[in-house]
């Protein structure tokens, strides 16, 4: 029987999510990979236990995480039932809906029909009465924004989510959505977007700036670019790497000669800081007040422990930041 470490809150740092009352750990665990039906269930448990034992209270899911779609929620639901459920009030559990989930015209997007039905399915798989944060997973320009935000309002009012978030939105759409949610008195507190040293989209589409202006939190996914910003690929593609074992999102053609040169140069900067490349990449996300938390994925408990070390050094000199920019974006 699992018993959480008594020292689980000793070292983790928690940051307030925007101007809300909710705090998130600086490092959160994403279940996008390694929690589907093809993964080892005993390892899933060890990943969750290692995370929680070291102060990671936030576990992030989506309806379609797997493979197969829904299996990450199902497997995490079993872990909750067997082990973590007794700590429910110490956990922040989030899920999302927006991408393709089931066949037919009602299985993706931002309609009221889809969002509410999807969360009902997610709660069944998780074995929960509510999630802490429910996200609309993507912008849907075929559905009126008022309808999607109205569905989020209904979800909170029904008690099925405590807070709402938006994922993969741009700054312009975020501002419109935020005003609608404010008028509906919905506790919208966080944006989830891709952000890394190699992917600066949120700096260019207004999301980062607008989120800060509106006093909303940001949680970033793929801060390690699916593992490229780590020591995994410095000398080629390992047999047990994500590229080899699960090529759905990271493919061998992503590791071009140019990218390899960049990550090797970034690795040299990390060494001078006394960090691994992964630690520096995560620290770069956390260097200012814009980002509340970074989402990490892990296939081994040791990776979680290594990533948590990041929070000990998230300060960068101006020279370091300029050198990182020179290497990564020219």
Residue 251: is its pLDDT beyond 70? no
Residue 279: is its pLDDT beyond 70? yes
pLDDT of residue 237: 66
Classify residue 226 as left (phi > 0), alpha (psi -120 to 50) or beta: left
Give the confidence band of 289 by pLDDT, cuts at 50, 70, 90.
confident
Quote the CA–CA distance of 73 and 66 in Å, as a whole number: 8
Residue 284: is its pLDDT beyond 80? yes
pTM for the complete prediction? Answer: 0.94
Q: Comparing 231 with 73, which gets the higher pLDDT?
A: 73
State how beta strands 161-167 and 58-60 pair: unpaired
pLDDT of residue 255: 77
Which residue reads 């993969």 in tokens?
Answer: 168
pLDDT of residue 84: 98
pLDDT of residue 244: 46
CB 160 within 8 A of CB 123: yes
The residues, ordered by sequence, that sit 6+ positions from 251 with a Cβ below 8 Å of its Cβ are 243
The sign of the torsion formed by the CA atoms of 295, 299, 301, 302 equals negative
pLDDT of residue 185: 98
pLDDT of residue 61: 98
Give the confidence band of 13 by pLDDT, cuts at 50, 70, 90.
very high
In terms of CATH architecture, what is 14-233+278-315? Alpha-Beta Barrel (3.20)
Give the confidence band of 330 by pLDDT, cuts at 50, 70, 90.
confident
DSSP symbols for 13-79: -EEE-TTSS-EEESEEEE-SSS-STTS-HHHHHHHHHHHHHTT--EEE--TT-TTTTTHHHHHHHHH
Residue 200: is its pLDDT beyond 70? yes
How far is residue 272 from each of residues 231, 263, 286, measured CA to CA in Å? Answer: 15, 14, 19
Q: pLDDT tens for residues 44-89? A: 999 999 999 999 999 999 999 999 999 999 999 999 999 999 999 9
Across-strand partners of 218? 191
What is the longest distance spanned by two Cα atoms in the chain?
A: 53
Q: pLDDT tens for residues 22-56? A: 999 999 999 999 999 999 999 999 999 999 999 99
H or E element: which one contains 221? strand 217-221
Q: Comparing 227 with 7, which gets the higher pLDDT?
A: 7
pLDDT of residue 256: 86
Q: Please list the helix, strand and coil fractions of the chain in percent, rounded to the nearest 5, in that order.
A: 45, 15, 40
Taking residues 289-311, report their average pLDDT.
96
Quote the CA–CA distance of 129 and 131 in Å, as a whole number: 7
User: Which of 82, 88, 84, 31 is CA-nearest to residue 53?
Assistant: 84
pLDDT of residue 242: 55
Quote the CA–CA distance of 47 and 42 in Å, as a whole number: 9
Q: Where are the domains of the chain?
A: 14-233+278-315
Mean pLDDT of the residues in the chain:
95
Taking residues 221-231, report their average pLDDT.
93
Taking residues 229-248, report their average pLDDT.
67
State how beta strands 217-221 and 293-296 pair: parallel
């Amino acid at each position: 029987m699992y018993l959480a470490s008594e020292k689980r809150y000793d070292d983790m740092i928690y940051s307030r999510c925007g101007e809300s009352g909710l705090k998130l750990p600086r490092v959160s665990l994403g279940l996008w990979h390694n929690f589907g039906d093809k993964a080892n269930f005993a390892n899933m448990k060890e990943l969750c236990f290692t995370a929680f034992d070291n102060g990671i209270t936030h576990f992030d899911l989506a309806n379609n995480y797997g493979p197969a779609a829904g299996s990450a929620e199902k497997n995490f639901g079993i872990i909750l039932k067997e082990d973590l459920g007794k700590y429910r009030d110490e956990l922040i559990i989030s899920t999302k809906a927006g991408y393709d989930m089931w066949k037919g015209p009602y299985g993706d997007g931002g309609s009221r029909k889809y969002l509410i039905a999807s969360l009902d399915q997610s709660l069944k798989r998780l074995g929960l009465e509510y999630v802490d944060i429910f996200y609309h997973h993507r912008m849907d320009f075929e559905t009126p924004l008022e309808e999607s935000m109205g569905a989020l309002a209904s979800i909170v009012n029904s008690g099925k989510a405590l807070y709402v978030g938006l994922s993969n939105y741009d700054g312009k759409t975020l501002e419109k959505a935020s005003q609608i949610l404010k008028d509906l008195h919905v506790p919208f507190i966080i944006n989830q977007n891709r952000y890394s040293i190699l992917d600066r989209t949120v700096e260019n589409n207004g999301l980062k700036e607008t989120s800060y202006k509106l006093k909303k939190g940001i949680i970033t996914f793929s801060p390690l670019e699916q593992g490229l910003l780590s020591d995994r690929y410095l000398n080629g593609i390992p047999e047990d790497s994500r590229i080899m074992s699960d090529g759905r999102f990271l493919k061998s053609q992503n590791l071009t000669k140019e990218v390899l040169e960049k990550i090797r140069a970034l690795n040299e900067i990390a060494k001078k800081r006394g960090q691994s490349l992964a630690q520096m990449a995560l620290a770069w996300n956390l260097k200012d007040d814009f980002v509340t938390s970074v989402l990490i994925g892990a296939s081994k408990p040791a990776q979680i422990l290594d990533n948590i070390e990041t929070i000990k050094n998230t300060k960068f000199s101006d020279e370091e930041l300029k050198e990182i920019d020179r290497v990564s974006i020219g």
